[in-house]
Amino acid sequence: MSETSMAKSDPAATLPRIDFEPSAATRLDGVDLSDVPFSSIFSDHMFVAEYRDGAWGQAVVRPYGPLALPPNISALQYAVSVFEGLKAQRLPDGQVAMFRPSENAKRINRSAARMSMPPIPEEFFMAALRTLVRTDLAWVPPAECGALYIRPTYFSIDPSVRVKPAESFLFVIFTFPFGAYYSAPVDALVTERYVRAFPGGTGDVKPAGNYAPALAADLEAKEAGCATVMWLDGVQRKYIDECGVMNVFIVLEDGDGPCVVTPPLAGTILPGVTRDSALALIRDMGIRIEERPIAVEEVLAANSVGSLRECFGTGTAATLSHIRSIQYRGETILFPSTEERPIGTAVRDRLIAIAKGLSPDTFGWLEHI
């Protein structure tokens, strides 16, 4: 094979080059990386690439800062916009690794396809992540505390208020450090007034437009003294879908030992990378798993016969949050204290240990920078 035909058949050969414009000075001085609140200070650089006329054009890592965009772009008008969230962590030897980034590459393209947006080549997505994280490596918190959160964002910059598939896009990635994210067990309010997702909708992908409508339910929960919302299915308003922006797990005891129940990926559940990782670990621990619909009524019934053990949510930011109670139609289902929750606690500890390189990466989840 000649060199030219090889170049043509190699998709990586057509990927845009990533230019670099360094920031004049770092903003890192005086920042205590072990103690930064989530989403409070942003790293020095961001990645920006433009898609236009059917092709990826210029890509650049440049100083973090405002984007100048016209007000008529369809990202703003119609939420033609999708995003991802993942973390990079410092390992004991000082190196840095991302957690399962290729899952985010695949998922952003499922989200993009649902919004009639062209795919981001997976190699390009990975190269962009690697280049940006490597540039701001100093922003990754020390091994014992915190992580670097990475937010890929992909949206239309079509300057048109016509409702139609967009043609031009920006792919932007920014990052920020955050200190250890410990959240106390949370109370969740089952909302019957609002739904997050419905069959045929967009609940199984991550478009920007999914999140603003959820805020009213969040407010309803806060007014009831709860930290978060327990979402029910949009058709029967009977089955538990998700908890806030986390996938949800309930542990029941049925005489044959514990069984972990989580709603199936049947169109309204976001396929969380943390959900998938938690399931792999639970399976590895030899604990039974049932991916099936679970009604609030079943949880109430389990509570009344004393077979309710644990409830937790999973997502990239918090990894795993224990759910202390579920409020439903004026009743409160109170779960056992965290000391009596061996499964959620073990899953959380193991996930964190693998991501931080403290225990062997037997599943091949770490992508070293």
Ligand X SMILES: *Cc1c(COP(=O)(O)O)cnc(C)c1O
Interacting residues toward ligand X by CB under 6 A: 85, 206, 242, 245-247, 270, 272-275, 314-316
In terms of CB distance, is 136 or 242 closer to ligand X?
242
Question: What is the C-alpha separation between 249 and 344, in angstroms, rounded?
Answer: 9
In terms of CB distance, is 16 or 207 closer to ligand X?
207
In terms of CB distance, is 140 or 318 closer to ligand X?
318
The residue with tokens 């409702």 is 163
Question: What is the C-alpha separation between 273 and 86, in angstroms, rounded?
Answer: 9
- The minimum distance between CB 69 and ligand X, in angstroms, equals 24
> How many Å separate Cα 68 from the centre of its chain?
27
> What residues does 50 pair with on adjacent strands?
170
- The minimum distance between CB 181 and ligand X, in angstroms, equals 12
- The minimum distance between CB 85 and ligand X, in angstroms, equals 5
- The minimum distance between CB 352 and ligand X, in angstroms, equals 14
In the complex, residue closest to ligand X by CB: 272
| Number of alpha carbons in the 13 Å side-chain half-sphere of residue 242 | 25
In terms of CB distance, is 172 or 245 closer to ligand X?
245
Work out the number of other CB atoms within 10 angstroms of the CB of residue 172. 18
In terms of CB distance, is 270 or 308 closer to ligand X?
270
Distances (CA, A) of 227 to 231, 281, 283, 345: 13, 27, 30, 20
Which residue type does 323 have?
I
b/e 198-210 (16+ beta carbons within 10 angstroms → b): eeeebbbbbbbeb
- The minimum distance between CB 305 and ligand X, in angstroms, equals 30
- What's the token pair of residue 146? 């915190």
The residue with tokens 């089955």 is 239
Which residue type does 122 have?
E
- The minimum distance between CB 98 and ligand X, in angstroms, equals 13
In terms of CB distance, is 179 or 272 closer to ligand X?
272
